[in-house]
Amino acid sequence: MTFSKENFKNQFISNVRTLSRQTVENATKEQLYEALAFTIRDYVTDKWLKTHETYDKEGVKIVCYLSMEFLMGRFLGNAILNMSIYDEVKEVLSELNIDYNTIENVEKDPGLGNGGLGRLAACFLDSLSTMELPAYGCGIRYHYGIFEQKIENGYQVELPDNWLENGDIWGVKRHEYAQEIKFGGTVRAVKQPDGRYKFIQENYESIMAVPYDYPVVGYDNNTVNTLRLWDAYAKEAFDLQSFNAGDYTKAVANQNIAKTLTEVLYPADEHYAGKELRLRQQYFFVSATIQRIVSKYKKKFGNDLSKFHEKYALQLNDTHPSIAVAELMRVLIDENDMEWDEAWEITKKCCAYTNHTIMSEALEKWPIELFSRLLPRIYMIVEEINKRFCEMLINRYGHDANKIRNMAVVADGQIRMAYLAIVGSHSVNGVAALHTEILKSQELKDFYEVYPDRFNNKTNGITQRRWLGHANPALSSLITDTIGDGWYKDLSELKKLDKYAEDKEFCKKFMQVKSENKKKLADYFKQTKGIDIDPNSIFDIQVKRLHEYKRQLLNIFHVMSLYNKLKVFPGLDIVPRTFIFGAKSAAGYSRAKLIIKLINSVAELVNNDESIEGKIKVVFAENYRVSLAELLIPAADVSEQISTASKEASGTGNMKFMLNGAVTIGTLDGANVEMAQELDNEGIFIFGMKANEVIEEQNKNTYNPWDVYNFSSDVRGVMNMLINGTLDPNTELFREIYDACLNGYNGSRADQYYVLKDFESYCKAQQDIEQTYRNKELWAKMAVHNTACSGKFSSDRTIKEYADEIWKLTPKHIEI
């Protein structure tokens, strides 16, 4: 079915009729959304079928990107953009008196992820389809995504995110590919006629995994890859369907167990809590994926699995799916009679592991008793992997107890998932150059010594289709009018804009677009929060998960000190600024939640104090999510990327702001380092400790934040404000933050993220920004320069590196 405006219009009108028994004039916006989504889906389906027909027929190699999170954002707009039918769709709708944006906003964000790691997976899928690379995203169909955040009285309140409430238009249930997943029970060794042993799991509990497939539409081509999300069903429910009703009560009880398995996404990022349900979720989707691809391989290529690795690559998105190493071994050995050594070589050739964090709280370690009870056969395999690995270590280093303690997969009563992933993979990558270097020289030093060839860097990227094309149509048009539309598929084309940084006319247009985007955002805040912000003020934005290492505290302390200055010198000539925050905190992370309350208390104070004449405003954007990011980022003048150096593995928000012409204030951390390089240090304001200084300071442990306090009246003013009743009548409310900064709290070091230590240098960088902003021409030049230099940070570049160097994957053009 080829697209034409005429056909599309007729189909749309007809879909409104059949789906809602309504005329277009009388249909609600929800009904119109449904009809539009169905219409678009039909066009997608033809390409989707053709893509998989081609993959099957030609037996191509496929990468499975295994991830507990896919933060896709809305489907409709992305599908329309990638099929290059945006203008036509908009025209047809406006002929029917329908506003396209209103309809698009009906769709709930599928929030099946926490933050960076989940959004990266979504950007990667977009790039894979656009570059015609055969791929599946494999994950879990959570019934509830990341909670919806409400702010009540300044505090975060979490509400359930029922994203499936109004149906699941984009998901196709594939009952025929259901897999049985076994938990618990015991393992019996049975001697085979040839003398070998076969291991059989018995008395286990079964859960059925049923996939739902979602289309991933490539840009300007015929490729539609699949995001396959597994949902859980009770096995008895399957029996019930075939009239083997049996024990109905038990069947229903089992349905409940199945239901809880995929009920909800764990909303904690970078924080590990050894929860049984989480381990169940991990094994569930990994086992389903591996069983499915092995049986598909056998159907296509026969029962000999010795070349399995030539057809499938498995990328492990952090350690969350790292149990894949043991599960693939189990399927090859137990279910396909392969010998250990051969299975091990194949497993290593298939698996590759990406590390996304060096935060020690995030390291996954499962207690042996839990792991072995839930996955008895997998546990045996992990023990064997560990035994062989330790033998190798002993061979190499002798009987060194420290080496074993530091490197063993199973040690001190725990299974260390990162080590399992490293030992069982042929590739281990970090997500930015600095991050990879820190892995090699610090966190994973011992492993780098043993397996130097496995380590490599893949600097993260973002898809320009969603983050410029879709999020910022006005800037997209301006860029396309100036240098053509090649950037949609090759972001390095943006380099051609750099010479326009000198072109006054172009700069003016660029800043006009920015100004329009700022007005749109101001309208949104007016409508949703009833708050007035000045579109001519500097929009200074920090949006990301709330975490102490990301240092939202540093940002709000700067606001507090500015406020204190304005109180002392009311006439102070500063450029008006709007500080915008957006952040969800993990529900159990009380310090992070208190920081949200602090930001809102400062907002309350500053926004309502007439004596400062509206020179500074603070806005907390509620329920930060992909669709809100698409509104916020194009409106930013200043992008806050201020993590404690060495702690942010890469960051990807930083890249989205740069692409949209914001100027960064940041530390030399994660991908900021590479951004500064691409920019030649123009239009980026770097401050604070360097990563090596942080690491050194942590080791020395001689830093005393009271020294900073004693030297700086600004710091004293801010600290005092936390506990003197200015922000809240309860002077104890923010005492914990005060103590954490100055005295240490609950066993952690005073100012462990060096907020006070970096404060002065941060304020200085903020002043530089203000001075630069006063010079409108210089500012515009810097903004354009940022967009022009952002080409490296396309996820197309990242994916090409993964495909060439790790997966050995080649594009397959889909002909229609």
Beta bridge pairs of residue 205: 183
Minimal distance in Å, beta carbon 113 to ligand 26Q?
8
Total interface residues for ligand 26Q by CB under 6 A: 24
Q: Which helix (H) or strand (E) holds 102?
A: helix 100-104
Cα–Cα dist 94/715, whole Å: 55
Is 548 a residue that touches ligand 26Q (CB under 6 A)? no
Could you tell me the smallest distance in angstroms from the CB atom of residue 494 to ligand 26Q?
21
Smallest gap from Cβ 23 to ligand 26Q, in A, equals: 46
CA distance 790 to 464: 10
In contact, 592 and 548? CB cutoff 8 Å? yes
Active site residue 356: yes
Is residue 666 at the binding interface for ligand 26Q, with CB under 6 A as the rule? Answer: no
Tell me if 282 contacts ligand 26Q by CB under 6 A.
no
Decide: is 321 part of the binding site for ligand 26Q (CB under 6 A): no
Q: Of 111-119, 552-560, 745-753, 771-779, which part binds ligand 26Q (CB under 6 A)?
A: 111-119
Q: Enter the tokens of residue 688.
A: 């604070």
When the beta carbons of 458 and 509 are compared against ligand 26Q, the nearer one is 458
Select from 38, 63, 65 the least CA-distant residue to 121: 65
Q: Minimum Å distance from CB 121 to ligand 26Q?
A: 9
Token pair of 372, please? 């072995």
Q: Beta 179-183 vs 616-620: how paired, if at all?
A: unpaired
Q: Contacting ligand 26Q (CB under 6 A), which of 77, 115, 376, 688?
A: 115
- Phi, psi angle pair for 296, to nearest 5°: -70, -40
Q: Does 370 bind ligand 26Q (CB under 6 A)?
A: no
Q: Is 198 a catalytic residue?
A: no
The residue annotated as part of the active site, out of 545, 584, 781, 785, is 545
Asked if 443 touches ligand 26Q (CB under 6 A), the answer is no
- 550 assigned to active site: yes
Closest by alpha carbon to 170, among 275, 274, 34? 34
Q: Which of 550, 785, 792, 797 is catalytic?
A: 550
The smaller minimum CB distance to ligand 26Q, of residues 116 and 717, is found at: 116
Residue 269 makes contact with ligand 26Q by CB under 6 A = yes
Kindly state the helix (H) or strand (E) to which residue 188 belongs, with its residue range: strand 186-191
Task: Using CA atoms of 518, 519, 524, 530 in order, give the dihedral in degrees to the nearest 10.
Answer: 110
Helix (H) or strand (E) holding 663: strand 663-666
Q: How far is the CB of 173 from ligand 26Q (least distance, A)?
A: 27
Question: Which of residues 182 and 550 has its CB atom nearest to ligand 26Q in the complex?
Answer: 550
Nearest-5° angle of CA 334, CA 336, CA 337? 70
What is the helix (H) or strand (E) element at residue 136, kind and residue range?
strand 135-140
Residue with tokens 């003048």: 637
Contacts of 739 (CB under 8 A, 6+ apart): 745
For residue 228, which phi and psi values (nearest 5 degrees)?
Answer: -105, 110
**Would you say 107 or 674 has its CB closer to ligand 26Q?**
674
Pairing between β-strand 577-582 and β-strand 616-620 as defined by DSSP bridges: parallel
Active site residue 812: no
- The answer to whether 364 contacts ligand 26Q (rule: CB under 6 A) is yes
Pick the catalytic residue from 61, 356, 365, 792. Answer: 356
**Whether 509 is catalytic:** no
Interaction pattern, residues 627-656, with ligand 26Q; x per rule: CB under 6 A: ---------------------xxxxx----
At residue 323, the 3 state secondary structure works out as coil
User: Considering the complex, what minimum distance in angstroms separates the CB of residue 668 from ligand 26Q?
Assistant: 14
End-to-end CA distance of the chain: 10
Interface stretch with ligand 26Q, choices 270-278, 292-300, 327-335, 613-621 (CB under 6 A):
270-278
Active site residue 544: yes
User: Residue 729, SS3?
Assistant: coil
**Site mask, ligand 26Q, residues 24-63, x = CB under 6 A?**
----------------------------------------
Residue 357 binds ligand 26Q (CB under 6 A) = yes
One of 34, 270, 678, 751 touching ligand 26Q (CB under 6 A): 270
Q: Which residues are catalytic?
A: 356, 544-545, 550, 652, 656
Footprint on this chain of ligand 26Q (rule: CB under 6 A): 114-117, 120, 266, 268-270, 272-273, 278, 356-357, 362, 364, 431, 460, 648-652, 670
